[in-house]
Structure 1
Amino acid sequence: MNLRFIDEGYRRSPFVAMVLLFAAKSLLFRLFLFDGLTADGILSDLAAILFVLLVCEAIVPARIRGLVYWAVNLLFSLLLFAATVYYAYYGSVPTYTALKALDQVGQIGDSVNALIKGMYFVYFADLAVIAVWFIVARLTGVRIKGRKRIGKAGILIGCALLCIALSGSSVYRAKAIPNELEQAESLGFLNYQAAAAWQSASDNLAATTGNLEELKAEIAALKASYPYRSDGSPANESQSDSFGTAKGKNVIVIQLEAFQNFPIHLSVAGQEVTPTLNELAGESYYFPHVYQQIGQGNTSDAEFMSNTSIYPTGDIAMSTGYSDRVLPSLPRLLQAQGYTAATFHVNDVSFWDRDKMYPAIGFDKYYDKPYYENDHFNEFGPSDEQLYKTGIEKLSELHKRNQPFYAQFVTVSSHFPFKVPEGRGDSLQLPDGLKDTHLGDYLSAVHYTDYALGVFIGQLKAKGMWDDTVLVVYGDHFGLQPDKANAATISSQLGIKYDARLSRFNIPFIVHDSSLKQGQVVKQPGGQLDMMPTVAGLLGIVPDNEDAIVFGQNLLNIDRNVFGMRYYLPTGSFFNNDILFVPGKGFEDGSAVSLETMEPVADFEQYRSDYEYVMKLMSLSDKYVRLLPKRGPEKA
């Protein structure tokens, strides 16, 4: 190989070489994430790429320009690699706001590693080649020299401005597309970041000019326009049969990690996967049609929603973006009635900025990693058994003092990648076809989580706390990864009907109240926003009457519902009593699937008003949380 010829060629046109490499990587990114390539998308990518490289060409001195090009190339490759891995888990394209969660990655290293595929490293192929070339060149004496600019600075700046105009035009047109995936496909990775920055600036400006009281009235008027009861009557909370039946009781909320609904009442090789939850569901309010609504914050977003009934904005973890606010919440409502509020989580409290979120929600106390014995269950450390052991000790002290309490437990033993150490709990005996598979590991992790919950319930009964406690159990989000266990495989191996979206996002929601004489299966569909007002109703509280605006509904007091989901599905997606709807670029080119049959629904025009309502409701929720008063610096 003639290294001098290569060197001369590079020095003549490194700019062109970089344009081609960046374009090739952008095409790879599109192929990894989207179904195909479009001319508009490719042109949008090229405009953004040319702008970045023209800026380098114009301002970087010639002697270091080659080094800067390769540094920018490395950065671009890392961003595309990370975004591809991110998409493999979330099903969405990250924006620059995801960088605020980079400090969390080290604490979930096993989960991240399990998502990486060898093919993703193709983004770095050229960098590997240039590294080898550099080593060989050094050994053979070939020097890689700088070169003159490809043109005058004025020409470069003019071209850069033209690229800005082209990119800006694309971003402006894409603003009308609420579906983030469609928007990302249309714009490309770099322009999508620009669009996110533009939207964030617009939202921040609106937050400084809005009026909270006027917004509350607008929210109330919109909610009143939707018939949550089929007979047209208002959902009068205080007149429902279940209202206040648990008034004055302690409340324990258990958030189960990565817990989907399908394992409940499921048996594998003659063994119940969730015997504890099966029994609990039979004597409680059991809601089998509840769906996750989390955003970028995942587990922490589930905590946020179950306590506040406010939509996650989708562009940032709520614990990171809005923990400087005073958040109206169920803990605050109960504190006004003399309750104390505590939360238990075996991870470090700084994970997902919970050290800021918990005071914002109003918890009096949090118990994080130092409070538990580390039995090295998984990468988080302590097991669910250790979580509950500490919890029982602390709650028993309150119970002895007749201090009513609201306690939240966040489990982690069923966290991805679902590896349960041998000899822990009542092990699930898997058939050969499920052993050492993603599905089998998940069922084993869920089974252990159920076992530990059973131990905890036994302790509550032994300590005399069971009868005067409302126990709330729900899943935070899906567990099974679609690329590791697809819907057809799950259906075949378990003998159930499993839908790639409906079953994946379906989570359990169970509320046990000892005053309920017989268990009830409540088939009303709902989401995580509905958990707080449902529990509040049992406790005799109407949040809206206490100046705590909620965006969910009491599922025991309605027979119609509609609620949105975004991030794991594009904005504009919603569930109602009949369907899950997912938009395309708008409503007309969307798709729908029946909640009952899990079959596609071709004619969904009748649900247009639900789509428009949800879009307005989520927008108002975003404005509401941004306008909430900020906490004083002494509590931040």
Structure 2
Amino acid sequence: MKKLLGYLDLVLFLVLVTVKLVVYGDMVNPYFTLKGILYPTIASLLVLASISLLFKPKGRSRYLYICNIVITCILIADINYFRYYKDIISIPVIKNGLLLGAVNQAVKSILQPHDLLLLIDILLIPIIKKILKLKFNNIYSNYMEIKNVSMPFKLRALSFALVLALSVSYDGYFIHKLNVEQPRLIEGMYNKIYITNALGNLNCHALDVYNFAKKSLFDKKSLDDEKANEIKTYLTENTKTSGSKFKNIGKDKNLIMIQVEALQSFVINKKVEGEEITPNLNRWLKKSLYFDNYYYQVAGGNTSDAEFMSNNSLYPASSGAAYYIYSGDEFNSLPKLLDKKGYYSAAFHGYKEGFWNRNAMYVKEGFDKFYGEKSFNLDEQIGLGLSDESFFKQSLEQIKSFKEPYYSFLVTLTSHFPFEATDKYGDFNVGNLEGTFMGNYLKSIHYTDKQLGMFLDQLEKDGTMDNSIIVLYGDHFAIPRNHSEELFSFVGETGNDEFAWMRHQKVPLIMHFPKDAHKGVNSVVSGQMDIFPTLCNMFDLKTPYKFGRDLFNVKDRLVVFRTGSFMDNKVFYSSSSKKYYDLKTGEEVAETDALKKKKEEALKQLDYSDTLLDHNLIKKFTENNEMSK
């Protein structure tokens, strides 16, 4: 008993940190069960704890105390990152953090006071030790005497080896089990929430570090020609369409594409206190082709992921942002292909040029010019940077100077979370939503809608629209999952499950053609990966290196999300719960052989896209094509 008392620090470490990890698991896991997460959590903790057995008692206590601090800080960071991004922090995300000062500030604004409760034991342990020493000196002295009896190093090393072997074997069992149940999941890290739910937070981060190191040091050297040719063949087949609708409709026409920050579909044609939230977009919908079943597919790169998919039709990185990780790759992107048709291309964004690594990626993607923060007169700033009003006015002046035909790609900013400076939007009455997260968003997007209306009206007034195709879409969610109740209440949603959440993760896609041609509503199930192949058809651009599907000429739809979830014309599959839902009724449906094949197809697309980007295969394919001519 006395010997066990000497390891009280180790016991306390295991108990306290296990409680924290379990509490964290409950916060991020909608299907949380104590039994499901407890054992792999303890197994991963034992691996860490085994190292402490190498130290003498005093060193062991210090090691465990430091481990507690580090784990707690990771949990607090993960909790707040999850609140906004619905994901777990990874190594690429940490690397991106050097570029994301403004987003880091946004995440900090989500920090809640009760998060700091996780630090209580860390703060109290030194205080309790002092109290025991002062008030109960005899008991404390006896404990320290027992604790400080140190075993010879050989025995400590033997204890370490035995506990490590047992804990690694125990932990390895859970990892192997998950790998069998979900092949490719651990290697691809495409659904870190699921991994956390199954293996616990520590194992998820350990696997992330392992995969990142493996990918960085070994994987890029080990791709064989057979796999590369397999991917090339797949992409060639994926490019084939079943029709020629809208083929080359954009010949010699300007392309103006507008990516709107945090614009979600639920605000379209919706009123608050009798006033339209987006009156200008609602007005332009009547003169345009509106895709009302269009989903965002972003991952850790958020806005930059939307840009990446829309200009390349390649999937976002499994962790972090493709704009940062793959900025050294070659791309057959939209600006490059349009350049071959004699187009001038320019990108516009009223924020820092290095944010999301745009200054590097826009060059790689073939834009002739990037108008970033330094190119604008920062005469009015709202929230993160240049106001949308000033941004559109100044961008329009530049666009007017371009020689036709041209491609202008504009990315808005003001409606970015955390929807600051709401006093600027005071002319919009949100009623009882005043001061709420939803109310602030509605004011923000109402302001952006006003600026969009003035920009589009001016394009029409000066005749630019007579020879231009306008493409406008939202980039990602506005309302994070921790505010889902506000969203459901606003849209009148009675459910609160994953299907109810998914059905509201749509963003508008609007295409306007000269003379208001082809106006109407298209309800095809689609996503951001589909813009690029659709524009390739409309502007007769040749490239087989795309995963999305033409919106006008491919009937077999498959919208794949970075988590491994997917949606086709009839069913939504959730990778987190491994359930299928009927899109019309919301009822759960059983897996069929056809659905299983689509699930495998979704994972294959993600794997192929990752491999293509990891090994810069577009460059290899292009060079091989040139040599074969």
Please give the alpha-carbon distance, in whole angstroms, between the structure 2 residues aligned to 1:630 and 1:70.
Answer: 49
Specify the alignment match of 2:524 in structure 1.
524
Specify the alignment match of 2:587 in structure 1.
600
Please give the alpha-carbon distance, in whole angstroms, between the structure 1 residues aligned to 2:349 and 2:134.
Answer: 56
Q: Tell me the CA shift for residue 280 of structure 1.
A: 2.1
Please give the alpha-carbon distance, in whole angstroms, between the structure 2 residues aligned to 1:622 and 1:294.
Answer: 15
Taking a change above 3 Å as real, the CA distance of residues 198 and 396 of structure 1, as seen in their structure-2 partners, is same
Deviates more, 1:415-424 or 1:269-278: 415-424
Q: Tell me the CA shift for residue 411 of structure 1.
A: 1.1
Which residue, 625, 628, 636 being the options, matches 2:613?
Answer: 625
Letter of the structure 1 residue corresponding to residue 287 of structure 2: E
Deviates more, 1:370-379 or 1:41-50: 370-379
Asked whether 1:414 is paired with 2:415, we answer yes
Please give the alpha-carbon distance, in whole angstroms, between the structure 2 residues aligned to 1:397 and 1:213.
Answer: 49
Letter of the structure 2 residue corresponding to residue 72 of structure 1: C
- Deviations 1:265-284 (CA, angstroms, capped at 9, x unpaired): 11222222112211222222
Taking a change above 3 Å as real, the CA distance of residues 61 and 96 of structure 1, as seen in their structure-2 partners, is farther
Alignment of structure 1 residues 102-251 onto 2, 5 Å = 102-104=97-99, 106-108=101-103, 111-133=106-128, 147-149=148-150, 152-176=156-180, 177=182, 178=185, 180-200=192-212, 203=215, 205-211=218-224, 215=228, 217-221=230-234, 224=237, 235-236=241-242, 240-251=244-255
Taking a change above 3 Å as real, the CA distance of residues 460 and 48 of structure 1, as seen in their structure-2 partners, is same
Deviates more, 1:191-200 or 1:357-366: 191-200
Specify the alignment match of 1:307 in structure 2.
311
Alignment of structure 1 residues 6-85 onto 2, 5 Å = 13-34=8-29, 35-39=31-35, 41-58=37-54, 60=55, 64-85=59-80
User: How many residue pairs were aligned?
Assistant: 595
Letter of the structure 1 residue corresponding to residue 77 of structure 2: A
Check whether the contact 2:350–2:373 (CA below 8 A) recurs between aligned residues: yes
Identity %: 26
SS across alignment from 1:115: coil
Specify the alignment match of 1:560 in structure 2.
556
Please give the alpha-carbon distance, in whole angstroms, between the structure 2 residues aligned to 1:109 and 1:296.
Answer: 13
Specify the alignment match of 1:351 in structure 2.
355
Please give the alpha-carbon distance, in whole angstroms, between the structure 2 residues aligned to 1:267 and 1:499.
Answer: 25
Taking a change above 3 Å as real, the CA distance of residues 154 and 267 of structure 1, as seen in their structure-2 partners, is same
Please give the alpha-carbon distance, in whole angstroms, between the structure 2 residues aligned to 1:47 and 1:603.
Answer: 34
Check whether the contact 1:311–1:529 (CA below 8 A) recurs between aligned residues: yes
Check whether the contact 2:91–2:320 (CA below 8 A) recurs between aligned residues: no
User: How large is the Cα RMSD of the aligned pairs?
Assistant: 3.2
Check whether the contact 1:530–1:552 (CA below 8 A) recurs between aligned residues: yes
Specify the alignment match of 1:429 in structure 2.
429
Which residue, 568, 575, 598 being the options, matches 1:610?
Answer: 598
SS across alignment from 2:266: coil
Please give the alpha-carbon distance, in whole angstroms, between the structure 2 residues aligned to 1:188 and 1:198.
Answer: 16
Taking a change above 3 Å as real, the CA distance of residues 488 and 339 of structure 1, as seen in their structure-2 partners, is closer
- Deviations 1:469-493 (CA, angstroms, capped at 9, x unpaired): 2211111111112322425412339
- Deviations 1:401-448 (CA, angstroms, capped at 9, x unpaired): x24322211111111222344345x832222x2222222222111111
SS across alignment from 2:418: coil
Please give the alpha-carbon distance, in whole angstroms, between the structure 1 residues aligned to 2:385 and 2:231.
Answer: 46
Taking a change above 3 Å as real, the CA distance of residues 611 and 147 of structure 1, as seen in their structure-2 partners, is same
Please give the alpha-carbon distance, in whole angstroms, between the structure 2 residues aligned to 1:304 and 1:296.
Answer: 12
Q: Tell me the CA shift for residue 262 of structure 1.
A: 1.6
Q: Tell me the CA shift for residue 630 of structure 1.
A: 9.2
SS across alignment from 1:467: helix
Taking a change above 3 Å as real, the CA distance of residues 451 and 139 of structure 1, as seen in their structure-2 partners, is farther
- Deviations 1:434-471 (CA, angstroms, capped at 9, x unpaired): 22222222211111111111122233335442222221
SS across alignment from 1:550: coil
Taking a change above 3 Å as real, the CA distance of residues 397 and 363 of structure 1, as seen in their structure-2 partners, is same
Check whether the contact 1:534–1:555 (CA below 8 A) recurs between aligned residues: yes
Deviates more, 1:209-218 or 1:147-156: 209-218
SS across alignment from 1:175: helix
Taking a change above 3 Å as real, the CA distance of residues 584 and 436 of structure 1, as seen in their structure-2 partners, is closer
Specify the alignment match of 1:470 in structure 2.
469
Check whether the contact 1:490–1:498 (CA below 8 A) recurs between aligned residues: no
More helix by proportion, 1 or 2? 2
Q: Tell me the CA shift for residue 305 of structure 1.
A: 0.6
Specify the alignment match of 1:3 in structure 2.
none
Taking a change above 3 Å as real, the CA distance of residues 114 and 390 of structure 1, as seen in their structure-2 partners, is same
Q: Tell me the CA shift for residue 578 of structure 1.
A: 1.4
Deviates more, 1:511-520 or 1:10-19: 10-19
Specify the alignment match of 1:534 in structure 2.
534
Specify the alignment match of 2:365 in structure 1.
361
> So what's the TM-score if we normalise by structure 1?
0.85
- Deviations 1:208-242 (CA, angstroms, capped at 9, x unpaired): 23257863554544774x8x9xxxxx515xx6231
Q: Tell me the CA shift for residue 128 of structure 1.
A: 2.2
- Deviations 1:235-257 (CA, angstroms, capped at 9, x unpaired): 15xx6231111112222211111
Q: Tell me the CA shift for residue 104 of structure 1.
A: 4.8
Which residue, 557, 561, 572 being the options, matches 1:580?
Answer: 572
Q: Tell me the CA shift for residue 260 of structure 1.
A: 0.6
Check whether the contact 2:312–2:334 (CA below 8 A) recurs between aligned residues: yes
Please give the alpha-carbon distance, in whole angstroms, between the structure 2 residues aligned to 1:165 and 1:20.
Answer: 21
Taking a change above 3 Å as real, the CA distance of residues 141 and 411 of structure 1, as seen in their structure-2 partners, is farther
Asked whether 1:460 is paired with 2:459, we answer yes
Letter of the structure 1 residue corresponding to residue 67 of structure 2: V
Check whether the contact 1:258–1:415 (CA below 8 A) recurs between aligned residues: yes
Taking a change above 3 Å as real, the CA distance of residues 543 and 280 of structure 1, as seen in their structure-2 partners, is farther
Please give the alpha-carbon distance, in whole angstroms, between the structure 2 residues aligned to 1:255 and 1:514.
Answer: 20
Specify the alignment match of 2:626 in structure 1.
none
Q: Tell me the CA shift for residue 301 of structure 1.
A: 0.7
Tell me, which stretches of 5 or more residues in structure 2 are unaligned?
A: 186-190, 621-629
Please give the alpha-carbon distance, in whole angstroms, between the structure 2 residues aligned to 1:54 and 1:156.
Answer: 5
Please give the alpha-carbon distance, in whole angstroms, between the structure 2 residues aligned to 1:271 and 1:451.
Answer: 13
Taking a change above 3 Å as real, the CA distance of residues 475 and 10 of structure 1, as seen in their structure-2 partners, is farther
Please give the alpha-carbon distance, in whole angstroms, between the structure 1 residues aligned to 2:493 and 2:435.
Answer: 14
Specify the alignment match of 2:450 in structure 1.
451
> So what's the TM-score if we normalise by structure 2?
0.86
Q: Tell me the CA shift for residue 40 of structure 1.
A: 5.4
Please give the alpha-carbon distance, in whole angstroms, between the structure 2 residues aligned to 1:378 and 1:134.
Answer: 50
Please give the alpha-carbon distance, in whole angstroms, between the structure 2 residues aligned to 1:359 and 1:252.
Answer: 19
Letter of the structure 1 residue corresponding to residue 408 of structure 2: A
Check whether the contact 2:349–2:411 (CA below 8 A) recurs between aligned residues: yes
Q: Tell me the CA shift for residue 137 of structure 1.
A: 7.8
Asked whether 1:320 is paired with 2:307, we answer no
Taking a change above 3 Å as real, the CA distance of residues 240 and 115 of structure 1, as seen in their structure-2 partners, is same
Taking a change above 3 Å as real, the CA distance of residues 618 and 499 of structure 1, as seen in their structure-2 partners, is closer
SS across alignment from 1:240: coil
Specify the alignment match of 2:627 in structure 1.
none
SS across alignment from 2:456: helix
